[in-house]
Structure 1
Amino acid sequence: MSYEKMRVFCMFDLPVDTPEKRRAYRVFRKGLIENGFTMIQYSVYQRIVPNRRSGKKYEEIIKKFIPSNGDVRIIYISEKQYNDMKILVGSKSKQEEIVGSNKMVVI
Protein backbone atom coordinates (compact mmCIF):
# COMPACT_ATOMS: atom_id res chain seq x y z
CA MET A 1 0.00 0.00 0.00
CA SER A 2 1.33 3.40 -0.99
CA TYR A 3 1.13 6.14 1.63
CA GLU A 4 0.43 9.48 0.03
CA LYS A 5 -0.45 12.30 2.38
CA MET A 6 -3.89 13.72 1.76
CA ARG A 7 -5.82 16.66 3.09
CA VAL A 8 -9.43 16.18 4.07
CA PHE A 9 -11.41 19.37 3.62
CA CYS A 10 -14.74 19.90 5.34
CA MET A 11 -16.73 22.81 3.95
CA PHE A 12 -20.06 23.69 5.49
CA ASP A 13 -22.92 26.13 5.42
CA LEU A 14 -25.07 25.82 8.51
CA PRO A 15 -28.00 28.04 9.45
CA VAL A 16 -27.62 30.10 12.63
CA ASP A 17 -30.93 31.98 12.70
CA THR A 18 -32.26 30.41 15.93
CA PRO A 19 -30.59 29.59 19.26
CA GLU A 20 -30.98 25.85 18.56
CA LYS A 21 -29.30 26.16 15.16
CA ARG A 22 -26.48 28.27 16.62
CA ARG A 23 -25.90 25.57 19.22
CA ALA A 24 -25.85 22.86 16.50
CA TYR A 25 -23.28 24.98 14.61
CA ARG A 26 -21.08 25.26 17.72
CA VAL A 27 -21.31 21.52 18.43
CA PHE A 28 -20.39 20.72 14.82
CA ARG A 29 -17.45 23.13 14.76
CA LYS A 30 -16.20 21.87 18.13
CA GLY A 31 -16.43 18.29 16.84
CA LEU A 32 -14.22 19.18 13.89
CA ILE A 33 -11.62 20.82 16.13
CA GLU A 34 -11.65 17.90 18.59
CA ASN A 35 -10.91 15.57 15.67
CA GLY A 36 -7.84 17.51 14.56
CA PHE A 37 -9.34 19.80 11.91
CA THR A 38 -8.06 23.36 11.65
CA MET A 39 -9.79 26.35 10.11
CA ILE A 40 -8.22 27.70 6.93
CA GLN A 41 -11.12 29.98 6.05
CA TYR A 42 -14.57 30.64 7.52
CA SER A 43 -16.55 27.39 7.27
CA VAL A 44 -13.60 25.57 5.66
CA TYR A 45 -11.61 23.20 7.85
CA GLN A 46 -8.85 20.77 6.90
CA ARG A 47 -6.89 17.89 8.36
CA ILE A 48 -3.83 16.01 7.09
CA VAL A 49 -4.19 12.22 6.87
CA PRO A 50 -1.71 9.60 5.65
CA ASN A 51 -4.00 8.31 2.87
CA ARG A 52 -7.57 8.32 1.58
CA ARG A 53 -8.60 5.28 3.63
CA SER A 54 -7.57 7.07 6.80
CA GLY A 55 -9.55 10.10 5.64
CA LYS A 56 -12.69 7.98 5.26
CA LYS A 57 -12.51 7.36 9.02
CA TYR A 58 -12.98 11.09 9.63
CA GLU A 59 -15.79 11.23 7.11
CA GLU A 60 -17.66 8.66 9.23
CA ILE A 61 -16.89 10.61 12.42
CA ILE A 62 -18.24 13.84 10.90
CA LYS A 63 -21.46 12.04 9.87
CA LYS A 64 -22.11 11.28 13.55
CA PHE A 65 -22.33 14.92 14.64
CA ILE A 66 -23.56 16.64 11.48
CA PRO A 67 -26.62 18.86 12.08
CA SER A 68 -29.91 17.73 10.57
CA ASN A 69 -30.10 20.92 8.51
CA GLY A 70 -27.38 22.69 6.59
CA ASP A 71 -24.91 21.68 3.93
CA VAL A 72 -21.61 19.86 4.60
CA ARG A 73 -19.14 18.77 1.91
CA ILE A 74 -16.02 16.64 2.20
CA ILE A 75 -13.23 16.65 -0.39
CA TYR A 76 -9.87 14.88 -0.49
CA ILE A 77 -6.85 16.65 -1.97
CA SER A 78 -3.35 15.25 -2.34
CA GLU A 79 -0.49 17.08 -0.66
CA LYS A 80 0.92 17.93 -4.10
CA GLN A 81 -2.38 19.52 -5.18
CA TYR A 82 -2.54 21.44 -1.91
CA ASN A 83 1.00 22.74 -2.39
CA ASP A 84 0.02 24.02 -5.85
CA MET A 85 -2.68 26.23 -4.30
CA LYS A 86 -2.45 29.96 -4.94
CA ILE A 87 -3.80 32.52 -2.51
CA LEU A 88 -5.30 35.56 -4.23
CA VAL A 89 -5.99 38.75 -2.31
CA GLY A 90 -7.21 42.13 -3.45
CA SER A 91 -4.51 44.19 -1.74
CA LYS A 92 -1.61 43.86 0.68
CA SER A 93 -2.72 42.80 4.11
CA LYS A 94 -1.47 41.24 7.31
CA GLN A 95 -2.35 37.87 5.81
CA GLU A 96 0.37 38.40 3.21
CA GLU A 97 2.94 38.68 5.99
CA ILE A 98 1.59 35.57 7.74
CA VAL A 99 1.72 33.37 4.64
CA GLY A 100 5.27 34.38 3.81
CA SER A 101 5.58 32.32 0.63
CA ASN A 102 5.59 32.99 -3.07
CA LYS A 103 2.18 31.32 -3.44
CA MET A 104 0.32 34.57 -2.81
CA VAL A 105 -0.65 36.69 -5.76
CA VAL A 106 -1.78 40.27 -5.05
CA ILE A 107 -4.06 41.68 -7.75
Structure 2
Amino acid sequence: MKGRFMRVMVLFDLPVETAEERRAYTGFRKQLIRKGFVMMQESVYTKIVQNPPAARAVISHIRSVSPKEGLIQVLVITEKQYAGMELIIGHVQKEIIDTNEKLVIL
Protein backbone atom coordinates (compact mmCIF):
# COMPACT_ATOMS: atom_id res chain seq x y z
CA MET A 1 0.00 0.00 0.00
CA LYS A 2 1.26 3.43 -0.96
CA GLY A 3 2.08 5.75 1.95
CA ARG A 4 0.00 8.89 2.48
CA PHE A 5 2.53 11.47 3.47
CA MET A 6 1.25 13.93 6.01
CA ARG A 7 2.54 16.88 8.02
CA VAL A 8 2.26 17.10 11.77
CA MET A 9 2.31 20.74 12.80
CA VAL A 10 2.90 21.70 16.42
CA LEU A 11 1.96 25.23 17.43
CA PHE A 12 2.77 26.28 20.97
CA ASP A 13 2.83 29.21 23.33
CA LEU A 14 4.58 28.34 26.56
CA PRO A 15 5.27 30.60 29.55
CA VAL A 16 8.92 31.63 30.04
CA GLU A 17 8.72 33.98 33.02
CA THR A 18 10.50 31.81 35.60
CA ALA A 19 13.67 29.74 35.31
CA GLU A 20 11.60 26.55 35.65
CA GLU A 21 9.26 27.63 32.82
CA ARG A 22 12.23 28.46 30.59
CA ARG A 23 13.72 25.01 31.24
CA ALA A 24 10.38 23.39 30.38
CA TYR A 25 10.14 25.43 27.16
CA THR A 26 13.71 24.58 26.14
CA GLY A 27 13.25 20.90 26.96
CA PHE A 28 10.03 20.69 24.94
CA ARG A 29 11.60 22.43 21.95
CA LYS A 30 14.65 20.15 22.08
CA GLN A 31 12.39 17.08 22.17
CA LEU A 32 10.64 18.27 19.01
CA ILE A 33 13.97 18.75 17.24
CA ARG A 34 15.22 15.31 18.38
CA LYS A 35 12.06 13.75 16.94
CA GLY A 36 12.74 15.31 13.54
CA PHE A 37 10.63 18.45 13.68
CA VAL A 38 11.83 21.49 11.75
CA MET A 39 11.02 25.05 12.77
CA MET A 40 8.67 26.66 10.28
CA GLN A 41 8.51 29.91 12.22
CA GLU A 42 8.84 30.79 15.88
CA SER A 43 6.82 28.32 17.97
CA VAL A 44 5.59 26.45 14.87
CA TYR A 45 7.31 23.17 14.04
CA THR A 46 6.51 20.60 11.35
CA LYS A 47 7.42 17.01 10.63
CA ILE A 48 6.67 14.76 7.67
CA VAL A 49 5.19 11.37 8.54
CA GLN A 50 4.29 8.51 6.24
CA ASN A 51 0.71 7.75 7.32
CA PRO A 52 -2.00 8.37 9.95
CA PRO A 53 -0.71 5.72 12.41
CA ALA A 54 2.73 7.38 12.35
CA ALA A 55 1.07 10.76 12.99
CA ARG A 56 -0.78 9.32 16.00
CA ALA A 57 2.49 7.95 17.39
CA VAL A 58 4.15 11.36 17.03
CA ILE A 59 1.20 13.06 18.76
CA SER A 60 1.40 10.53 21.59
CA HIS A 61 5.07 11.37 22.06
CA ILE A 62 4.29 15.10 22.09
CA ARG A 63 1.72 14.51 24.85
CA SER A 64 4.30 12.63 26.90
CA VAL A 65 6.92 15.42 26.76
CA SER A 66 4.57 18.42 27.06
CA PRO A 67 5.10 20.90 29.90
CA LYS A 68 2.35 21.22 32.51
CA GLU A 69 1.42 24.79 31.58
CA GLY A 70 0.96 26.72 28.36
CA LEU A 71 -0.79 26.08 25.08
CA ILE A 72 0.22 23.31 22.67
CA GLN A 73 -1.84 22.53 19.58
CA VAL A 74 -1.27 19.84 16.96
CA LEU A 75 -2.64 19.87 13.43
CA VAL A 76 -2.27 16.97 10.99
CA ILE A 77 -2.73 17.76 7.30
CA THR A 78 -1.95 15.93 4.09
CA GLU A 79 1.18 16.80 2.16
CA LYS A 80 -1.04 18.05 -0.67
CA GLN A 81 -2.80 20.46 1.69
CA TYR A 82 0.55 21.62 3.05
CA ALA A 83 1.88 22.21 -0.47
CA GLY A 84 -1.13 24.45 -1.13
CA MET A 85 -0.09 26.86 1.63
CA GLU A 86 0.09 30.40 0.29
CA LEU A 87 2.95 32.69 1.25
CA ILE A 88 1.54 36.18 1.80
CA ILE A 89 4.60 38.05 3.02
CA GLY A 90 8.18 37.07 3.77
CA HIS A 91 10.35 34.52 2.03
CA VAL A 92 10.86 30.76 2.11
CA GLN A 93 13.93 29.74 4.08
CA LYS A 94 16.32 27.83 1.82
CA GLU A 95 18.06 25.93 4.62
CA ILE A 96 14.89 24.08 5.64
CA ILE A 97 14.62 20.61 4.14
CA ASP A 98 11.23 20.37 2.47
CA THR A 99 10.98 16.99 0.82
CA ASN A 100 9.01 13.81 1.18
CA GLU A 101 11.87 11.61 0.02
CA LYS A 102 12.98 9.00 2.55
CA LEU A 103 16.69 9.71 2.14
CA VAL A 104 18.15 13.18 2.19
CA ILE A 105 21.87 13.57 1.50
CA LEU A 106 23.29 16.90 2.61
Shorter-chain TM-score category?
Answer: 0.7 to 0.9
Q: 1:75 to 1:17 in 2, by over 3 A?
A: same
Measure how far apart 1:3 and its partner are. Answer: 2.0
Any idea what SS the aligned residue of 1:28 has? helix
Partner residue in 2 for 1:24: 24
In the alignment, structure 2 segments of 5+ residues that lack a partner are: 96-106
Partner residue in 1 for 2:9: 9
Q: 1:67 to 1:96 in 2, by over 3 A?
A: closer
Q: 1:88 to 1:62 in 2, by over 3 A?
A: same
Counterpart-to-counterpart distance in 1, 2:23 and 2:4: 36
Larger helix share, 1 or 2: 1
Partner residue in 2 for 1:76: 76
Partner residue in 1 for 2:51: 51
In the alignment, structure 1 segments of 5+ residues that lack a partner are: 100-107
Q: Give the TM-score of the pair, scaled to structure 1.
A: 0.82
Counterpart-to-counterpart distance in 2, 1:51 and 1:10: 17
Larger strand share, 1 or 2: 1
Measure how far apart 1:31 and its partner are. Answer: 0.3
Larger Rg: 1
Counterpart-to-counterpart distance in 2, 1:34 and 1:96: 23
Q: How many residues align?
A: 95
* Pair 1:62-2:62 in alignment: yes
Measure how far apart 1:97 and its partner are. Answer: 7.8
Higher relative contact order (CA 8 A, sep 6+): 2
Any idea what SS the aligned residue of 2:74 has? strand
| Percent of paired sites with the same residue | 41
